[in-house]
Structure 1
Amino acid sequence: MVRPRAQAAHGRSFGAQAGVYDEVRPGYPDAALALALTGWDRQWSDLRVCDLGAGTGILSRRLHALGTELVAVDPDAVALERNPAPTVVGTAEDTGMEAESVDLVTVAQAWHWFDEPRAAAEVARVLKPGGRLLILINQLDVRVDWVLRLSRIMHAGDVYRPQYRPDPGAGLTLIDHRLVEFTTELSVDGIVDLARTRSYWLRSNEKTRARVESNLREYLSVEHPIPDTVHLPYMCLAYLLERH
């Protein structure tokens, strides 16, 4: 089990692979993003949004394109250098933002790095009454046998739990959820680069990294050979919560 302090440190290490991260990590499907507006008489251009744990800006770029008034918050200043939005160096537990200042908080690929009760309290603090929290989690689709094997070789840690629902408290109530299937096209080199952006790789020594790369290349050339590229199956798990 990773201790909370060590977990937070791992969550701040992605800036070291910022360029690779942007190249090989997938974006978030429009159908998953659209969950944020379900049953809400609001448009994207009406919203002031905090993209929390925003990192290099994979989601921030899409939110910016949708016309939101956006602030990107992350503890990793190196990762934020690539983010096109106005940025604040801060944590999920202490964003540095004003109380009741945003309509929507988005958290993409980062909720599991947070101290959930403290992060929930901070999200509730910065949201306006009736504001929303959208949690997005892209996972390799480990329901597919060969993808499950791939994830284990790269120590991805992607485990699909159909029953999971975030219940962080602090007045944040789950009001909807959605699973969106999609694929992203990668070469063998791209899949190896994908492994390089995972926390297991980032905290491993060179010997371990070499072993993971060798095992990946052998699997994709011998056990499950792929052509020049493959459409790698993913699922995006989207959870919508509301502040009451």
Structure 2
Amino acid sequence: MNINLKENQKIFFASDFHLGSPDHKTSRKREDKIIKWLKSIENEAAAIFLVGDLFDFWFEFDTVIPKGFIRFMGKIAQLRDRGIPIFFFTGNHDLWMKDYFTKELNIPVYHNPINLEINHKKFLIGHGDGLGPGDKKYKILKKFFTSKVCQFIFKWLHPDIGLAIAHKWSSQSRSSNMAKNEDKFLGNGEWLWEYCKNVEDKMHFDYYIFGHRHLPLELPVGKNSKYINLGEWLSQNTFAEFNGKELKLKKFEK
């Protein structure tokens, strides 16, 4: 995929909205803030990449989607109607996203990292869960959750039962991650940073963009590359902006 920016156009990246968490009232306030951010960038956005965990849980039954988030979905529908490309990535909390957004809004959904070129700069973009060394327990769980057998069994649960179980699991998963110093920089223990270094040894990218870590980071990868972690919108409201020449990590303050 190649994107060439026109004058005054920019590419925007954000992740980890976790809409639905931890309760309806808090999530609605966050949803309003995300919509304000989308409004603030729409006139200069050449494309928007939403890089996983947009929802705290998401599952598409054959004819049912989770209740809520209607304002967010309405806003991205409006952006698509304006012709602004939007790209969704699944994260560990919404990995059961299928083709609803693709069919309804022509928004592609990616389950794995992708590489692309923007103004002759090479990008590797993904959510980041399950990449790099360590985290073996989650990698095993991810294989189970992404199996067709697991999805088939869950699909046949009544949505009220299935979603209640899923939200309970999602809440416990988030609490567990926070207890494991999720918000602290781990130096050489940053496994996504190590993953980027390993990739760079084999293939060059100018920018590595990931979410999942809930920690805004901008770190060197070799001599000519950067690893950017997008942070989250539970408290930080951070995003990345590429103007065709350089990429900056920013915070939405409005």
TM over 0.5: no
Normalised TM-score (structure 2): 0.30
Normalised TM-score (structure 1): 0.31
